[in-house]
Amino acid sequence: MPDSNRSQHICRPWAVILNCTLVIFDIIFIAQGVVGLVYSTDCPRQPFIPVYMCFFILVPILLALSWCYNCCNIVLCSVAIIFYVCWFITGNVMIYSIYEPNYNKNTTKADPYCNKTLYLFAFWSTNLTYILLGVLLLSYCCRKQREADDDNTRSLLRG
């Protein structure tokens, strides 16, 4: 098998996994933004959660614009990634710190409520983000291992 065909074969599964994961992330981000907008005032227990979720609707839009105009340089991408990671960690703290909130809006308790749909969507979409990041990391490690194995095989065949 020629080297060019072999390298395309190695990269193909990684590219499929990467593209599928990015599409799933885009769907999650858009859904988070919509849910955050719809329930923007329905979590007095932690009012930052809808704001946190609304931000994510901008991620696919900004990515599409940067790809369309080829305007994403390394500094801009690095700053955006650092901001996203910090925003994600902050949202995690807000979501997990109130687990499991009072969902009843009309309760007589002094404890403020959080809309059940909003909270559970934020909670599970955050968990899904961790799962998808794990899939990406695992597939990347498998790709690197396979490339290393193929390089060793080629070295043995030459020598």
- List pLDDT tens digits, range 34-68: 999 999 999 999 999 999 999 888 877 777 777 66
Of 127, 129, 132, nearest to 18 by C-alpha is 132
pTM > 0.75: yes or no: yes
Of 153, 139, 133, nearest to 81 by C-alpha is 133
- List pLDDT tens digits, range 8-36: 445 577 778 888 888 898 899 999 999 99
Q: How many domains does the chain have?
A: 1
Which helix or strand (DSSP H or E) is residue 122 part of?
Answer: helix 116-158
Domain with 151, as residue range(s), is 3-158
